[in-house]
Amino acid sequence: MNLEHKNSVYFIGIGGIGMSAIARYFVAKGLVVGGYDKTKTGITIALVDLGVAIHFEEDVKNIDTQFLNAETTLVVYTPAISKDHKELQYFQNNGFKVLKRSQILGEITKHSFCLAVAGTHGKTTTTSILGHLLNECNVKVTAFLGGISENYNSNLILNGTEVTVVEADEFDRSFLTLSPDFACITSMDADHLDIYGDASELIKTFEEFSEKLKPNGKLFVKNGLPIQGITYGIEDDSDYSVEHIKIINGSYQFDVKTPTGRLENVKFNLPGRHNLSNALIALAMSLEYGLPHPELAKALASYKGVKRRFTYHIKTNDLVYIDDYAHHPEEINAVHQAVREMYPGKMVLAIFQPHLFSRTKDFAEEFAVSLAQFDTLFLLDIYPARELPMQGVTSQWLLEKIEHKNKKLVQKKELIEAILQEDAPIILTIGAGDIGEEVKHIKKALSLAY
Cα-only R_g, the chain? 22
- Distance between CA atoms of residues 12 and 224, nearest Å: 39
Residue in 322, 329, 274 with CA at minimum distance from that of residue 429:
322
Q: In the predicted model, is pLDDT for residue 82 greater than 90?
A: no
Residue in 126, 81, 43 with CA at minimum distance from that of residue 306:
126
Q: Please write the tens of the pLDDT for every residue from 89-147.
A: 999 999 999 999 989 998 999 889 999 999 988 899 999 999 999 999 999 999 999 99
Q: What is the DSSP letter of 438?
A: G
Reported as type and span, the H/E element at residue 338 is: helix 329-342
* One-letter amino acid for residue 95 of the chain: G
* 3-class secondary structure per residue, 240-262: EEEEEEEEECCEEEEEEECCCCE
Reported as type and span, the H/E element at residue 147 is: strand 141-149
Question: Is residue 447 within 8 Å of 422, Cβ to Cβ?
Answer: no
Question: Is residue 256 within 8 Å of 239, Cβ to Cβ?
Answer: no
| Collapsed DSSP state (helix, strand, coil) of residue 126 | helix
Q: In the predicted model, is pLDDT for residue 189 greater than 80?
A: no
Look over the chain and give the mean of its residue pLDDT values, rounded to a whole number: 92
Dihedral class, residue 138 (left if φ above 0, else alpha if ψ from -120 to 50, else beta): left
State the pLDDT at residue 102: 87
Reported as type and span, the H/E element at residue 115 is: strand 113-118
In sequence order, the β-bridge partners of residue 98 are 75
State the pLDDT at residue 289: 97
Largest Cα separation within the chain, whole Å, is 63
- Model confidence at 3, pLDDT cuts 50, 70, 90, reads low
- Distance between CA atoms of residues 285 and 217, nearest Å: 12
State the pLDDT at residue 37: 95
Domains of the chain, start order: 8-101 (3.40.50.720), 112-301 (3.40.1190.10), 311-449 (3.90.190.20)
Q: Please write the tens of the pLDDT for every residue from 200-247.
A: 777 888 888 899 999 999 999 999 999 999 999 999 999 999 999 999
| Collapsed DSSP state (helix, strand, coil) of residue 289 | helix
